[in-house]
Amino acid sequence: MIYGYIRVSTDKQTVKNQKFEISGYCDKFGLEINKWVSETISASKKLSDRKFGRLMKHLKKGDVVIVSEISRLGRNLLQVMSILNECMEKDVMVITVKEGYELGNNINSKVLAFAFGLSAEIERNLISQRTKEALARKKAEGVVLGRPKGSSNITSLKLYRIKDKVILLRENGWSYSKIARKYHVNRITVANFIDRINEEASNCK
């Protein structure tokens, strides 16, 4: 099976250009797309949430996936490498039109995959290093890192504006879960709010 895969990030973008490029490649080399897979979704979404993730599960030895460019596969180099590695293990060829890559289970593909992997590792290390340097600089400047210590102001809590109703319901025997369902919040949110109310009341004594 030969699959043509097309991905755009927003519904304002068009799939026509990618389909044109893939079709042109197929015409040039005498190939025919057996099935098109097209989706409008950000590559930042988990692979399992994308049509391409479902396609990956069905790929088998000898299949070919053609994309207009390698960036259509994933959100970053690490994800692209993971996808290519899985395809190579299944003996599935990935062809990218713009870059001219033909990645399969052969020595040239493995050399290219090694280069991709090395680039990904360098990219990861650079990001980590930049993050550490930024945190060190902020710390040197006296910026307090991490979440603020202490409790937030009770008036900023979601249930504060209806606190009298919540207290009344609790006095009438309503459970945290029942109150949570009534006001469309989590049970823990209700429990924490009641704890804060009781804490404030104790501090005022």
pLDDT surpasses 70 at 117: no
- Residue with the bigger pLDDT between 194 and 131: it is 194
pLDDT at 167 over 70: yes
* pLDDT range class, residue 4, cuts 50, 70, 90: very high
Give the pLDDT of residue 124. Answer: 66
β partners of residue 66: 4, 95
Please give the single-letter amino acid code of residue 53: G
For the whole model, what pTM was predicted? 0.56
Highest mean pLDDT among 25-34, 68-77, 103-112: 25-34
- Binned at pLDDT 50, 70 and 90, residue 204 comes out as low
Alpha carbon distance 90, 88 (integer Å): 5
Asked if 108 and 137 count as a contact pair (C-beta separation under 8 A), the reply is no
Q: What is the pLDDT of residue 62?
A: 94
